[in-house]
């Protein structure tokens, strides 16, 4: 079963930095991420979702391929590619894989203006080693929501608090 973890940060830049680090850490098999979205609460634009995967672009590439193939059959590959890319981009924009966009917008509405949250859909993780690697961000991170059991959520909160104290001790030393 996938686990949903939402962690708040004071800035969008820090949430984006943690997401990039998690992608690197994923290569070491310490975490398996299904989806990672940064939700920003911007003063002028409201809630903004920064998806890890651009579904419109992915759909356009796939649609362009199939459109070219169909276009070759009807002796007009350029028209087929253009139509296929357009249809693929539209279908990609309408797709919603991973974390539900409605939920993400709901989370964004609860954030203070100017802050952000990193919403993760995790298939598998080693929380203690993961938090150890992300210790420098621990003083600013706060656990907002999870679908973990109460026991696992409390354990995660304790790990974050311990990492925060360690980071603070290192900063003062």
Strands 31-42 and 3-9: unpaired
- CB 130, CB 30: distance < 8 Å: yes
Q: What is the pLDDT of residues 63-104, one digit of tens each?
A: 555 555 455 555 555 555 555 555 554 444 444 457 889 999
Which pTM was predicted? 0.70
> Tell me: the pLDDT tens digits for 130-152?
888 888 887 888 889 888 899 98
pLDDT tens readout for residues 33-48: 999 999 999 888 889 8
All structural domains of the chain: 3-53+99-172 (3.30.70), 55-94 (no CATH)
Asked if residues 2 and 122 have their Cβ atoms less than 8 Å apart, the reply is: yes
């Amino acid at each position: 079963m996938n686990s949903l973890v939402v962690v708040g940060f004071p800035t969008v830049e820090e949430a984006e930095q943690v997401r990039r680090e998690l992608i690197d850490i994923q290569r070491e098999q310490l975490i398996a991420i299904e989806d990672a979205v940064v939700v920003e609460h911007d003063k002028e634009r409201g809630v903004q979702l920064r998806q890890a995967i651009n579904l419109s672009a992915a759909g356009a590439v796939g649609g362009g391929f199939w459109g070219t193939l169909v276009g070759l059959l009807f002796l007009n590959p350029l028209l087929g590619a253009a139509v296929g890319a357009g249809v693929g981009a539209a279908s990609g924009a309408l797709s919603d894989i991973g974390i539900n966009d409605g939920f993400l917008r709901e989370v964004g509405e609860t954030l203070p203006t100017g802050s952000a949250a990193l919403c993760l859909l995790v298939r598998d993780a080693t929380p203690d080693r993961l938090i150890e690697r992300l210790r420098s961000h621990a003083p600013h991170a706060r656990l907002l929501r999870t679908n973990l059991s109460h026991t696992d959520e409390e354990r995660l909160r304790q790990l974050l608090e311990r990492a925060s104290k360690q980071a603070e001790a290192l900063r003062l030393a």
